[in-house]
Amino acid sequence: MAQAGVWRQEDIFFSQLTVRETLVTAAKLQLPSSMSDEEKEQHVEQLLQHLGLVNAAGTIVGDNKTRGISGGEKKRLSIACELLGNPSVVFADEPTTGLDAYQAEKVMQTLKDLAKEGRTVICSIHQPRGSVFDMFDDIMVVAGGKLVYSGPAGDACLEYFKNQGHDCPLHSNPAEFLSDLVGTDHTSADTEAQSAARIQRLIQAFAAHSAAQTGSSTALAVSQDLQASLADSEEEDGEEDGEGGGKSKRRLGLTAAKADGAGAGFWQQFKILLVRAWRRQTTRDRATNVVRAMMNLTSAAIFGSIFWRMGFGQTTIQDRMGLLQVAAINTAMASITKTLNVFPKERQIVERERAKGAYAVGPYFLSKLVAELPVTAFFPALFSMVCYPMTGLHRTVPRFLKFLGATTVESFTSSAMGLTVGCIAPTTEAAMALGPSIMTVFIVFGGYYVNADNTPAIFRWIPNASLIRWGFEALCVNEFDGLTFEATKPTDLKTGRQVLERLSFADSSVAKSVRKEVQIMLGWYWASAYLLHKKTPEFTRLLPVSKLAGKESESGNGVEGAAGKSSVVIEEVIEASGEAVTAAEVTEVSAESLTTAEVTTTTTTTTTITTESASTEVETSVEEEFVEAE
C-alpha cells in the first residue's frame, strides 16, 4: 500500500517554532517508533539539505505579525513536511500561490525533481509561465468536470486543438491559450452560450477521439498486470535494499522510512506536544505574556489605589464586596481572553496533523492543559501579591494563601471555559464575541448583583454554573468570616457572618466554593475534549482497487487515458479515527467523475498541474520514466 502526502494550498505552521523544530516535531510524531530519535533527526537534516532549507533551519517560521522565513521557504517547508513519511504519491494544491515568478519556478522544479525520483505528484497551478509549462510532458484539460483533452503536452497538444479549429497564436503561452479555450465568457448571454457550445463540442470531440483510440467508450477497468508489476517493483526495491551497494533507489537522497512500527504512543505524543505547546505559549510568545503581566499589575495597582487600606467602618463593607467582585471578574476575564483563540488559531494545523494520524485528541488536549497551567497560575498570583496588601484585606498569611488559591482555581476554570468556547466557535472572531457574552451572564448571576435566593426558578441553574459566583463566594467567605465592624446603629452589621447571611453565603466555606469551582472546571474540560474528539477532520482518500468494480458502470463518457491503463477513484470521506491519508494500491486516477485531480501511473510517474480559469480547469502533467538504479 503506497502512502500519499497532501500538500494544502495554505502554508500554515506554528509561527513561533523554527523550521527545524517544525520538522523534528512532525518526524517524532509520524515516523515509526522503530526509528530512534537520532535517526529521525538525521532524516530531518537530509530533508533540510535537499530542499535548500539549511540556512533557514534556525529561523522561526513567522507570520503576518512576526518576521520569519520567506514565502518560497514556507512552500519548501510544506513539501518537507509531506516528504517525512517518504510518500509515493504527493497531492499539491496550488503550490505556487503567493509566490513571485522566480520562487514559483523553483518550487515547481522541486516538484519535477520529486517526479523524476519515482513519486507521483499531482498538483494544481494557476497560469504557469512558459518555462514552468515546458516542464510538463502530459496535460489534462478539464471543463466542468468533463475531459476535454488528455495526452502529450507541447506540439502534440496544440496540434490536436488545431485540428479541432482552435489554433494557438504564435509566441503565446500554451497554458493561457488552453485556459481561455475552456473558459466561459460571462460578458453577455450570447457569449456565455457560445462558450458553452464550444466547450461541449470539445468534450464530445475528445470522447470520440478516445473511443477511436481504445476501441471502447468506457475505460474504467482495473489492470491486473499493472497491479502485479507494481507489487513486483516493491519486492525488487526491498531485495535491492537488502543487498546494499548502489542498487538502492533513494528519493531525493533520503533513506525510505520503513513502516515497520506504529508512530509515537500516547505518552510519547504527549511529551512531544507538550514541548511544542510550551515553546509556543510560554517561551516564544513573549509579547502576549508581557501584555498580560502589565495588565494584571496595572489592574492591581488601580484597585489597590481605589480601595487603599480599607478600615472597618460600615461603608467599607460595600467597598470590600465591590473589590472582591471586581477581583473575581478581572481574574476570569484575563484568563478567558487568552484561551478563547487557542483552538480556532490552531484548528487548520491540528486537523491536518490529525488527518495524517500524527496524534490522538487525548495527548494533544492534555498537553495544552499542562502547558497552560503555569501561565494561568502565574498571573492571578501577580495580581494578588500587589492588590491584597494595598487594599488591607484580612491581614493574615493563611487568608492571603486562600485568596491566592481561590483566584488561581477561578483562573483555571475560566481558561477551561475559553477552551470549550473556542471548540464551539468556527472562527477566532466568533469565539471572542461568544466568550464575553457568556461571561456577562455569569457576572449578573455572580451573587453581587442578584442574590441567589431571589433568582427566578427558571434561572436557578445559572448561579450554580457561574464560575464568577463561586469565585466571589470563596473570596467573600475568606474575607468576611471572623471580621468585626464598627457599629453605631442597631441596624448596622457588626460581624462578617452577618454580611455573609445578607449575601446568602452563611452556609458556605472556602473549601466548598473551591470544590464547586473545580467541578465546573472539569465539566468545561470534558466538554472541550468531547468536542475535539467529535470534530474529526475530513480528507481525501484513494478508493482501493477492489472497490472499483461497482464504479465501472459509472465511468461516464469517453476514455480518460491511454489503452491498457487502469484506474482508481478519489472520494471525499470522513474518517472516524483520523487515520493518515493513504493511496491504497494506486494505479491510476482517470475518471470523468473527478474534477480536481487525475493521475496516470503505469511504469511511469506522473505530475499533474492544473490551471483554473473561472469555473474551468486546465490540468497538465509531467510524466517521467521510473528507472531503477543499476
Which of 179-183, 471-475, 553-557 is modeled with the greatest confidence?
471-475
> Which position has the grid cell 484539460?
141
Lowest mean pLDDT among 26-30, 81-85, 146-150: 81-85
The pLDDT of 1-24, averaged and rounded, is 80
Q: CA-CA distances (angstroms) from residue 73 to 11, 24, 187, 414?
A: 10, 17, 40, 39
The 3 state secondary structure assigned to 221-287 is CCCHHHHHHHHHHHHHHHHHHHHCHHHCCCECCECCCCCCCCCCCHHHHHHHHHHHHHHHHHHCCHH
Quick: pLDDT tens for 490-512. Answer: 888 888 899 999 988 988 899 99
CA atoms of 265 and 288, how far apart (whole Å): 32
CA atoms of 113 and 128, how far apart (whole Å): 17
Q: What are phi and psi of 120, to 5 degrees?
A: -95, 120
Interhelix angle 315-339/397-424, rounded to 10 degrees, is 40
- DSSP count for the chain of H helices, then E strands: 20, 12
Do residues 31 and 84 make contact, with C-beta atoms less than 8 angstroms apart?
A: yes
Q: How sure is the predictor about 256, in pLDDT bands with cuts at 50, 70 and 90?
A: very low
Q: CA-CA distances (angstroms) from residue 56 to 49, 74, 397, 409?
A: 11, 10, 52, 42
The pLDDT of 347-356, averaged and rounded, is 82
pTM: 0.68
Quick: pLDDT tens for 313-339. Answer: 888 889 999 999 999 999 999 889 888
Do residues 264 and 40 make contact, with C-beta atoms less than 8 angstroms apart?
A: no
pLDDT in the model for residue 538: 53
Where in the chain do CATH 3.40.50.300 domains reside? 2-261+539-625
The pLDDT of 175-187, averaged and rounded, is 86
pLDDT in the model for residue 610: 40
Q: What are phi and psi of 594, to 5 degrees?
A: -90, 135
Choose among 121, 149, 148: nearest CA to 135. 121
The radius of gyration computed from the CA coordinates of the chain, to the nearest angstrom, equals: 32
Produce one character per residue of 45-81: b if its CB has 16 or more CB atoms within 10 Å, e if not.
Answer: ebbbebbebeebbebbbbeeeeebbebbbbbbbbbbb
pLDDT in the model for residue 213: 76
Question: Is residue 192's pLDDT more than 80?
Answer: yes
The pLDDT of 304-320, averaged and rounded, is 89
First to last CA, the chain: 25
**Bridge partners, residue 605, by sequence:** 624
pLDDT in the model for residue 263: 64
Do residues 138 and 624 make contact, with C-beta atoms less than 8 angstroms apart?
A: no
Question: Is residue 574's pLDDT more than 50?
Answer: no
CATH T-level topology, domain 2-261+539-625 = Rossmann fold (3.40.50)
CA angle, residues 232, 236, 241, in degrees to nearest 5: 150
User: Within 10 A of 294 (CB to CB), how many other CB atoms are there?
Assistant: 10
Q: How sure is the predictor about 360, in pLDDT bands with cuts at 50, 70 and 90?
A: confident
Question: Is residue 2's pLDDT more than 80?
Answer: no
CA angle, residues 554, 555, 560, in degrees to nearest 5: 170
Choose among 360, 389, 292, 400: nearest CA to 532. 360
Phi-psi region of 260 (alpha: psi -120 to 50; beta: other; left: phi over 0): alpha
pLDDT in the model for residue 284: 72
The pLDDT of 79-97, averaged and rounded, is 82
Which of 174-183, 311-320, 467-476, 582-591 is modeled with the greatest confidence?
467-476
Choose among 462, 475, 465: nearest CA to 505. 475
pLDDT in the model for residue 536: 64
Mean pLDDT for all residues in the chain: 76
DSSP per-residue string spanning 42-94: HHHHHHHHHTT-TTTTTSB---SSS--S-HHHHHHHHHHHHHTT--SEEEEES
Report which of residues 422 and 235 the model is more confident about.
422
Question: Is residue 540's pLDDT more than 90?
Answer: no
Distance of CA 15 to the CA centre of its chain: 13
